[in-house]
Amino acid sequence: MRLSLFICTVLLSGQALGCGHCVQDRIAAVYDHALVKQTAKLHQKILYLAWDGPVTRDAVMHRKLMNAVANVSGVINGSVRVSLEPAAIALAYQPSSISREQIETRLLQQLARLQVKVTALPELIENK
């Protein structure tokens, strides 16, 4: 009885740890509450993305990603957040000026130069 209780406890406790691959882990890695509040106040939206590629995940790549995303037309200045592990990006945009799809297309083109692909994550309820 004690052994089975111990095994169940060990197995279930591992589920509480983040794997780094699920949507929630990626969003949490780049989530900035102040940015969320600011974008809501300005009627902007936040786009969360997963990224991947055959690149070294270090400070140099972090800087390259930050600069590349910040230089995409339509991305709000100062809104870019990048996480190397789990690999995620957050950015704000003005939906009255540009669509989510246009931002995604521009990001794909810009980040292809770095051999990085992005995939949009589902919108958060508070972000709609």
| Residue 110 or 2, more confident | 110
Query: Is residue 1's pLDDT more than 70?
Result: no
Give yes or no for a contact between 82 and 66, defined as CB atoms under 8 angstroms apart: yes
The span from the CA of 35 to the CA of 47, in Å, is 12
Cα-based angle 103, 38, 114 (whole degrees, multiple of 5): 35
Q: What is the pLDDT of residues 49-91, one digit of tens each?
A: 999 999 999 999 999 999 999 999 999 999 999 999 999 999 9
Write down all domains in the chain, each with its CATH number in brackets.
19-127 (3.30.70.100)
State the average pLDDT over residues 23-35. Answer: 95
The pTM of this model reads 0.81
Looking at residue 123, its pLDDT comes to 74
